[in-house]
């Protein structure tokens, strides 16, 4: 077996990206990411996070065949501005072989130590909007477009090498009732009048771009006190707008403003693209675009991708206003099931948003850390 560091060339990055597809070719619940999205994230020249971060990518080979991969990462914003003297690892996939996982982790650990840091955590990405958390429950569920999938054996490998649980995320599934509960509409009207709020019309991508910066600002306010949160930088905001706006159906966006037209809450849901991604197998062309188009028009499942509520308006019933608007969209598109994306288990304020929909905890994820010597 050998461990090789790969270059930033497209050819090498594609080898790194393609490995999970081969590893999970017989797993019915694996959802491959889009190649172009992975390339944009990993390419040092394309992802603006590398203005304040660095990384190295490694492949494990046995008899010339790829059997594992890992990314070793340092986000210097996290280190220097938030005082977290630790590195990260991500894109961690491997066959069920302890020699392979040990060698990959050793490479990542050595890279972190070489940067003068004494702790490592993963699997996580470069920033808040990257995929994070090892799946530890929900192996027989399709992941959403922005979450990871992994086999059950991953956790035992990390625990074997004295990694400890750092963070836990939870994901919920909810059924959309056939009819809108009357109390939701009634309570929504009361909240709207009491706090002098209004629903902003988002009819086009242009309308969405007008409030995009305010959305990121609201996310900083909503999640800023969480231990894992790193504030968004201007270049990252630009990058994520370019990356995600094209996928968003504006019918699935709800934005709430106060009397001064300042955004105080928003929610973005999207039809589930998991099955479309499976059919596309990571490629938009030649047919991937068609699968996405079909998923947008005909789907009974949706996912909450982003939600933000100004702390001054939390616990004031704003979610009733959001759900009242979203319910109309769900009925229009025939959505019967919705699920959340990962929420830190200690983030009770966000989890309370779903209480009226009787959520079922159906997935958990964890990151793991280790002190390095």
All CATH 3.40.630.30 domain ranges in the chain, comma separated: 2-172, 174-362
Task: Give whichever of 94-108, 189-203, 312-326 has the largest mean pLDDT.
Answer: 94-108
168-182, 224-238, 293-307, 333-347 — which is least confidently predicted?
Answer: 224-238
Q: What is the mean pLDDT of residues 169-188?
A: 88
* 358 pLDDT above the threshold of 80: yes
Task: Give the pLDDT of residue 228.
Answer: 61
How many Cα neighbours within 13 Å face the side chain of 210? 13
* 114 pLDDT above the threshold of 90: yes
Higher pLDDT, 369 or 180: 369
Task: Give the pLDDT of residue 347.
Answer: 80
Determine the Cα–Cα distance for residues 91 and 109; give it in Å rounded to an integer.
14
* 327 pLDDT above the threshold of 80: yes
Determine the Cα–Cα distance for residues 38 and 148; give it in Å rounded to an integer.
13
Task: Give the pLDDT of residue 232.
Answer: 78
* 244 pLDDT above the threshold of 90: no
Q: 2-172 in CATH: which number?
A: 3.40.630.30
Task: Give the pLDDT of residue 27.
Answer: 97
Task: Give the pLDDT of residue 107.
Answer: 98
Task: Give the pLDDT of residue 239.
Answer: 78
* 156 pLDDT above the threshold of 90: yes
229-243, 317-331, 355-369 — which is least confidently predicted?
Answer: 229-243
Q: Does domain 174-362 have CATH number 2.40.110.10?
A: no
Determine the Cα–Cα distance for residues 373 and 358; give it in Å rounded to an integer.
46
Q: Write down the residue that tokens 């201007």 correspond to.
A: 234
Determine the Cα–Cα distance for residues 122 and 164; give it in Å rounded to an integer.
10
Q: What is the mean pLDDT of residues 147-155?
A: 97
Average pLDDT value over all residues in the chain = 92
Residue 242: pLDDT band with limits 50, 70, 90? confident
pLDDT per residue as tens digits for the range 262-307: 999 999 999 999 999 999 999 988 889 999 989 988 899 999 888 8
Q: What is the mean pLDDT of residues 58-78?
A: 96
Determine the Cα–Cα distance for residues 350 and 188; give it in Å rounded to an integer.
18
* 227 pLDDT above the threshold of 70: no
């Amino acid at each position: 077996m050998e461990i090789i560091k790969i270059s930033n060339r497209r050819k090498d990055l594609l080898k790194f990206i393609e490995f999970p597809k081969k590893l999970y070719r017989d797993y019915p619940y694996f959802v491959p990411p889009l190649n172009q999205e992975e390339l944009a994230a990993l390419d040092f020249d394309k992802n603006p996070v590398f203005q304040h971060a660095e990384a190295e990518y490694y492949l494990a080979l046995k008899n010339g065949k790829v059997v594992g991969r890992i990314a070793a990462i340092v986000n210097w914003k996290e280190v220097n501005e938030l005082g977290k003297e630790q590195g990260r690892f991500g894109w961690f996939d491997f066959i069920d072989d302890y020699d392979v996982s040990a060698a990959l982790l050793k490479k990542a650990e050595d890279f972190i130590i070489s940067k003068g840091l004494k702790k490592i955590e993963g699997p996580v990405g470069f920033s808040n909007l990257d995929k994070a958390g090892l799946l530890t429950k929900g192996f027989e569920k399709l992941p959403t477009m922005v979450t990871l999938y992994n086999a059950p054996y991953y956790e035992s490998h990390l625990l074997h090498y004295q990694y400890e649980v750092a963070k836990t995320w939870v994901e919920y599934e909810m059924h959309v009732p056939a009819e809108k509960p009357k109390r939701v509409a009634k309570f929504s009207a009361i909240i709207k009048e009491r706090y002098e709020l209004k629903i902003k019309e988002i009819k086009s991508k242009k309308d969405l771009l007008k409030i995009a910066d305010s959305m990121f600002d609201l996310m900083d306010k909503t999640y800023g006190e969480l231990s894992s949160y790193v504030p968004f930088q201007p270049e990252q905001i630009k990058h994520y707008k370019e990356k995600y706006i094209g996928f968003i159906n504006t019918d699935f966006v709800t934005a709430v403003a106060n009397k001064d037209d300042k955004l105080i809450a928003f929610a973005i849901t999207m039809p589930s693209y998991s099955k479309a991604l499976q059919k596309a197998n990571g490629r938009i062309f030649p047919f991937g675009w068609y699968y996405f188009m079909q998923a947008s028009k005909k789907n009974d499942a949706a996912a909450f991708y982003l939600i933000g509520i100004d702390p001054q308006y939390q616990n004031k019933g704003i979610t009733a206003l959001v759900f009242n608007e979203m319910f109309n969209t769900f009925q229009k598109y025939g959505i019967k099931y919705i699920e959340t994306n990962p929420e830190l288990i200690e983030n009770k304020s966000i989890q309370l948003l779903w209480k009226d929909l009787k959520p079922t905890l159906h997935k958990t994820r964890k990151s793991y850390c280790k002190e390095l010597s």
